[in-house]
Homo-oligomer: A and B are copies of this chain.
Amino acid sequence: MKADLDRLMHERSLDALVLFPTEFEDPYRAYLSNGAHFSGGTIKRRDEPPVLISNGMEIEEAARSGLTVYSTEDFGESELMRTFRSDYDGRQVAFYRRVFDRLGVAGRVGVYGAGDANAVLRLVGLLSVALSEQVEFVTETVRATIFDAAYETKDPAELIALREVARQTSAVMRAARDWIAGHRAAGDTVVKADGTPLTIGDVKRYVRGQLFERDLEDPEGMIFAQGRDAALPHSKGEASQPLKLGESIVFDLFPRRPGSYFHDMTRTWSIGYARPEVQAAYDAVMEAFRRSMALCRPGVSTREPQVAVCEYFESLGHPTVLNTPGTSKGYVHSLAHGVGLNVHEAPYFPTFSDTYTIKTGSVFTIEPGLYYADEGFGVRIEDTVVMSEAGTAESLTDCPYDLVIELKG
């Protein structure tokens, strides 16, 4: 959690964390700046709270962080603009020389944040030369950075936010289920009151309305995929496709409070009835889900439940990523990922690496699935859970797991 950053900086010999300004949405900045809405820079020296650097127009938004906020004018930005004119490189070096001097940024400095790749490479290259006496820029292995380590556990304020978005997202999923169930069938097609087919586009529109009502946003777009599309784990689904009886539907919903914490959950539905192979896959996935919930304990490598699920599925004859590299059928992904200001963050659950250990206060998904595109179905069940003080995986998601939706219309 965030309070671990100073300890982690000591362990990793990092003297400062620097996030350069960016107009891109930056979850690192949201994390360090307590969710302030500004596009400026953030600097954290070891054993000091973060400080923000904002252009004049966003000062008041930045100040909502409760942190010390400097204006770019405090470092003479307008004067530098007049001096350097078209020489953006020279201006940036001069600006950050002042910033680093005044804020005491020196030693081993890690650069983080979401940003413009070319701009970050350019700026760090320039500063590495210009400030070589003062600063050594260091990088960390991907997925093992100091932020990954911090994200692995959530503090009480984060857990409140995660519980609330879980509650609201679950309510949307339940509402969607009830709304679909209120329709009727004509032949093998679900139809609206006027007899026209109920499409995936209609369902997504209903869900977006439900999200809107609850002030949730869906920046990456939900998955509502039927039949063969349900077997392509990241297919979003075809808006024009009518809902059909007996087809598996994978509904993966991962909204957030605007600029804040995500929830991530998936249900698999089959309207009217389930084909035997879908029912069998669903039963296997639910058993994998239950086993995973039981296996996730503090101190366990995240590889363990992932491998256990692979072995369980393989015992039923399904290919998995454990022994069928690159398989596109059977169990084709990893069991879980952390959830926070990023929909995917540490801890990850790799098949072949013991990089992550489950900890008390970890918040992560559990999402086994089985996919058979050639047979036209896919199944996934996903909750987001917190590893509780009691040492058990407590689900934050609150929604029935039932496969079959009986039409009541």
> Which A residues are within 8 Å of any B CB, using their own CB?
19-20, 23-25, 37-38, 56-61, 73, 77-79, 81-82, 85-86, 88-89, 92, 110-125, 137, 139-145, 147, 208-209, 212, 217, 219-221, 232-236, 258, 321, 325-326, 328, 332-333, 342-344, 350-355
**Complex contact A332–B122 (CB within 8 A):** no
Q: Can you tell how many copies of this chain the complex includes?
A: 2
Sample of 12 more A-B contacts, CB < 8 Å, known A86-B354, A113-B117, A121-B139: A23-B344, A24-B114, A56-B332, A57-B234, A59-B232, A81-B325, A112-B118, A118-B145, A120-B120, A121-B121, A122-B142, A219-B219
A188 to B354, CA, bound (A): 65
Residue of B nearest to A228 (CB): B60
In the assembled complex, the CB of A224 is this many whole angstroms from the nearest CB of chain B, namely: 14
Say whether B352 contacts A82, CB under 8 Å. yes
A117 touches B114 (CB 8 A): yes
CB contact under 8 A between A88 and B141, given known A61-B236, A114-B114, A332-B56: yes
A315 CB, nearest partner CB in chain B, Å? 21
Residues of B with C-beta under 8 A to A89: 141-142
Residues of B within 8 A of A141 (CB): 88-89, 122
Give the docked Cα–Cα distance between A43 and B123 (Å). 23
Q: Determine the distance from Cα of A220 to Cα of B111 in the docked complex, in whole angstroms.
A: 24
